[in-house]
């Protein structure tokens, strides 16, 4: 199985801050990486697919980059609705696997 | 707009079978080319992919659960289901159903249900 390691596990930030979350795969996954946002009681939301493609309807302050084993999700200017947990997922091979999640909290 | 909704018992006894259903609305489970998956998240832990069924009916499972899992679809009801047998407390989790649209070539889960919490306890 491909292990996905996210860091940090949590981050405290203020509205307007730039936030960067990293995800590392235990082996190369090309660009087959997705990022999700989840909030309690709500369906998880796809933000980024294929490492850097923005899902339709997702604000442009979200961006993704990377290929191979190292990936990042960046929120350029944190908004109040962005306080949530973010997870990465590799789609290169079965079994599909996720990172442990990063909780973005209010500072 | 396609929506997914999980349903099933919130409490299951140890050693019994956990059975959940995902109802698909706004689209047909048997047309197009989609993977319909089950994913779970134990409290305080990351997401774990359980397995999937394709529009064609073919299935794939996570090897860590394969011996205990069955995922099937009911096209007449536009639903797909999860059965996990011989459950223990470690199977307590929020269970989600989700979709991958093969035609979009994103290889990502673009639609999720809101999740259903299952607790395994006597």
What length is written for chain A?
Answer: 107
- Please report, for residues A39, B93, B118, the alpha-carbon distance to residue B42 in angstroms, rounded to integers and kept in the order given: 15, 4, 9
Under DSSP, is residue B114 helix (H, G, I), strand (E, B) or coil? coil
- Among the listed residues A22, A27, A23, A24, the one whose alpha carbon sits nearest the alpha carbon of residue A1: A27
B46/A100 Cβ within 8 A: yes
- Chain A stretch 10-69, residues whose beta carbon is closer than 8 A to a beta carbon of chain B: 32, 34, 36, 41-46, 49-50, 53, 55
pLDDT of A30: 96
Tens of pLDDT along chain A (107 residues)? Answer: 999 999 999 999 999 999 999 999 999 999 999 999 999 889 999 999 999 999 999 999 999 999 999 999 999 999 999 999 999 999 999 999 999 999 999 88
Query: Among partner residues A1, A43, A50, which is closest to B106 by beta-carbon distance?
Result: A50
Q: Answer yes or no: are the C-beta atoms of B69 and B52 closer than 8 Å.
A: no
Average of pLDDT values for B100-106? 86
B49/A95 Cβ within 8 A: yes
Pairing of strands B93-101, B109-112: antiparallel
**CA pair distance A92, B83, nearest whole angstrom:** 26
Q: Which pair of tokens denotes residue A95? A: 């079994």
């Amino acid at each position: 199985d491909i292990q996905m390691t996210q860091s940090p596990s949590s981050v405290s930030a203020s509205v307007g801050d730039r936030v960067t979350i990293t995800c590392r795969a235990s082996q190369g996954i090309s660009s087959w990486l997705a990022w999700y946002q989840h909030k309690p009681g709500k369906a998880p939301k796809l933000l980024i697919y294929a490492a850097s493609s923005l899902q339709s309807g997702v604000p442009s302050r979200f961006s993704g980059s990377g290929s191979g084993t190292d990936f990042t999700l960046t929120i350029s200017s944190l908004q109040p609705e962005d306080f949530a947990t973010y997870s990465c997922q590799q789609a290169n091979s079965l079994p599909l696997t996720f990172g442990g999640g990063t909780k973005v909290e209010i500072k | 707009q396609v929506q997914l909704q999980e349903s099933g018992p919130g409490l299951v006894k140890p050693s019994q079978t956990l059975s959940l259903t995902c109802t698909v609305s706004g689209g047909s489970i048997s047309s197009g080319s989609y993977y319909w998956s089950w994913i779970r998240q134990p409290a305080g832990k990351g997401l774990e992919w359980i397995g999937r069924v394709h529009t064609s009916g073919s299935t794939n499972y996570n090897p860590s659960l394969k011996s205990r899992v069955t995922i099937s679809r009911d096209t007449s009801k536009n639903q797909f289901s999860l059965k996990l047998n011989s459950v223990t407390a470690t199977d307590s989790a929020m269970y989600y159903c989700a979709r991958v649209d093969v035609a979009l070539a994103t290889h990502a889960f673009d639609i999720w249900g809101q999740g259903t919490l299952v607790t395994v306890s006597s």
